[in-house]
Amino acid sequence: MTSPAEVSAATLGLTELHPLIQQFYAGQVRHLDAFRAEEFAATFTEDGVFDHRPGTDPLVGRQAIAAAVRGYQQTKHAADPVQRRHWFNMLQVFPQGDGTVRTEYYALVLHTRPGTPEPQVGPSCFVTDVLAVREDGEVLTKSRTVRQDHLV
Amino acid sequence: MTSPAEVSAATLGLTELHPLIQQFYAGQVRHLDAFRAEEFAATFTEDGVFDHRPGTDPLVGRQAIAAAVRGYQQTKHAADPVQRRHWFNMLQVFPQGDGTVRTEYYALVLHTRPGTPEPQVGPSCFVTDVLAVREDGEVLTKSRTVRQDHLV
Amino acid sequence: MTSPAEVSAATLGLTELHPLIQQFYAGQVRHLDAFRAEEFAATFTEDGVFDHRPGTDPLVGRQAIAAAVRGYQQTKHAADPVQRRHWFNMLQVFPQGDGTVRTEYYALVLHTRPGTPEPQVGPSCFVTDVLAVREDGEVLTKSRTVRQDHLV
């Protein structure tokens, strides 16, 4: 059986990869910001790793990732129902020899409270991903490492 | 007579559409942020619809859109001359069967006051557009719906 | 001898240039935000001009640009060690007849202090570059003019 990670993205160049991955990230954060836990988790590979905070264990696999999103929604969001928006920017894509694509980018989270037009801004983060990219355009996150700028 | 909206964008794929639309949006907000009312309105189709705020009537047509930009400049901006900057991000483009392209993206408005390096940030918005995209690369906004995150 | 600036980018269209230049800018700011002075300076042409602030002389040449980055690090950053992040957005690329590419974009600087998740935001800037773009994808900044929105 061939997993997406084993299918080479070698035939796709920067011209194709950059917009493809931007479109992928836009859809991925849309799921996250709407707390669609299963849909967000499904943007990772089955064995995807989400290392979202130093000092905590990485989330491994779609079930763990979905559970973390639901847990956040049921605790922090339930107590303080802000609209979160994840912004990614300054994206670099680096096709790897094994058919995956490593990416590096900045991320910023905005939190808007009902009735308050000025969002709370932060944290600012530096993120590194390894993506599985198939020639048909399907993209999945194999692993993500988030480093928040204030935790140094 | 063939309007841009009737010309199919079907032959353009994500690789062409994503940068094309980013370039279009950058030019469009440049007009808006400089209060070039007619030039901004001309980035919409003649019958373009700009639904910029729930609870108010959408602006319909270039004249109405240009008048709204001029009105904003002559009232709010005249009283408080900030430099506005519209930032769009996390763009998704969805080519439609009818030759138009639906887009979804986040938007953030920054307001800088003379002498104050830190801009006022917000509101944060979620925007959906329908664009007319011609194969020669001309893009026009047919309709825009803005939902501000703090108005829920 | 042929310098990158003399090699035409005329065969590259918007589809290639937009992602190429986004990737270039992402790498360029990564050097700047990490105070890799020589690497940042090497993203300019040998005679590159960096006009970063009205009322001050532009920096001319890689040595001057690198020295400015080191100077900033050894004074302002040493006294107040924030993590800076430069965000560019709303990019327009305009291929010129001479093989260079003029760009216009918004820029925003975020400063995160250790332990404080909310970055200081600003200044907001409008930037114009002239880039040397080679057909093999190498990009260098020939000149950059930064206008901070609060200095009007």
pLDDT in tens, B4-19: 434 445 578 999 999 9
pLDDT digits 0-9 by tens, C41-50? 999 999 999 9
d(CA A24, CA C50): 34
The answer to whether A91 contacts chain C (CB < 8 Å) is: yes
Q: Which residue has the higher pLDDT, C6 or B48?
A: B48
Q: What percent of chain C has pLDDT over 70?
A: 93
How far away is chain A from the Cα of B1, in angstroms, using its nearest Cα? Answer: 34
Enumerate neighbours of B (3 or more CB pairs within 8 A): A, C
Confidence band for A136, pLDDT divided at 50, 70 and 90: confident
Write out chain C residues lying below 8 Å of B20, CB-based: 14-15
Give the chain C residue whose CA is nearest to the CA of B25. Answer: C90
**Is the pLDDT at A122 greater than 60, yes or no?**
yes
d(CA B7, CA B142): 13
Query: Does the CB of A118 have a partner CB in chain C at under 8 Å?
Result: no
Q: Which of A121, A126, A150 is opposite residue C115, by nearest beta carbon?
A: A150
- Could you tell me if B87 lies within 8 Å of chain C, comparing CB atoms? yes
Q: Do C92 and B25 touch (CB under 8 A)?
A: no
Check whether B105 has a pLDDT greater than 80. yes
* 8 A C-beta contact, residue C114 and residue C81: yes
Q: ∠B124-B128-B134 over CA atoms, to 5°?
A: 130
What pLDDT does residue B53 have? Answer: 81
Helix (H, G, I), strand (E, B) or coil at B137: coil
**B120-133/B100-112 β-pairing:** antiparallel
The predicted-structure confidence for C53-111, as pLDDT tens digits, reads as follows: 878 899 999 999 999 999 999 999 999 999 999 999 999 999 998 889 999 999 999 99
Per-residue burial over B53-87, b if 16 or more Cβ lie within 10 Å, else e, is eeeeeebebbebbbebbeeeeeeebeeeebbbbbb
Are C119 and A149 an interchain contact pair (Cβ–Cβ within 8 Å)?
yes
ipTM score of complex: 0.93
The minimal CB distance from A90 to the residues C15, C88, C117 is found for C88
Asked if A89 has any chain C CB less than 8 Å from its own CB, the reply is: yes
Contact A92 C20 (CB under 8 A): no
Beta carbons within 8 Å of A121's beta carbon, 6+ residues apart: A108, A109, A110, B121, C118, C119, C121
Q: How far apart are the first and last CA of chain C?
A: 42
Percent of chain A at pLDDT exceeding 70: 93
Q: Is the CB of residue A6 less than 8 Å away from at least one CB of chain C? A: no
Beta-carbon-side half-sphere exposure of residue B47 (alpha carbons within 13 Å):
4
Q: What is the pTM of this model?
A: 0.94
State whether residue A54 sits within 8 Å of chain C by CB. Answer: no
Neighbours of A13 (CB within 10 A): 16
More confident residue, B149 or B8: B149
A14–C15 CB contact, under 8 Å = no
What pLDDT does A53 receive?
Answer: 81
Closest residue, chain B, to C126 (C-alpha): B85
User: For residue C122, is it left (φ>0), alpha (ψ between -120 and 50) or beta?
Assistant: left
**CA angle, A100 as apex, B16 and A134 as ends, to 5°?**
55
Note the pLDDT of residue B45: 98
Tell me what the pLDDT averaged over chain C comes to: 92
First vs last C-alpha separation in chain A: 42
What's the pLDDT tens digit per position in C63-75?
999 999 999 999 9
**Which 8-state DSSP code applies to residue A80?**
S
Average pLDDT of chain B is: 92
- Considering only CB atoms, C85 lies closest to which of A18, A19, A106, namely A106
Confidence of residue A121 (pLDDT cuts 50, 70, 90): very high
Taking the C-alpha atoms of residue C68 and residue C80, their distance in angstroms, rounded to an integer, is 17
Chain A residues close to C23, C-beta within 8 Å: 14, 18, 91-93
At C33 the pLDDT is 98
Rg of chain C over CA atoms, in angstroms? Answer: 16
Q: Is the pLDDT of residue A10 over 60?
A: no
Question: What's the rounded Cα separation, in Å, for the pair A40 and A28?
Answer: 6
Q: What is the pLDDT of residues B123-146, one digit of tens each?
A: 999 999 999 998 889 999 999 999
Contacts of A11 (CB under 8 A, 6+ apart): A135
Is B89 close to C92, i.e. CB distance below 8 A? Answer: no
Q: Under a CB-based contact definition with an 8 Å cutoff, are residues B109 and B86 in contact?
A: yes
Packing angle between helix B14-33 and helix A14-33, nearest 10 degrees? 70
Confidence band for B90, pLDDT divided at 50, 70 and 90: very high
pLDDT value for C70 = 98
Question: Does the pLDDT of residue B112 top 90, yes or no?
Answer: yes
- Digit-coded pLDDT (tens) for A24-78: 999 999 999 999 999 999 999 999 999 988 788 999 999 999 999 999 999 999 9
In the predicted model, is pLDDT for residue A8 greater than 70? no
> Taking the mean position of all CA atoms in its chain, how far away is CA B2?
23
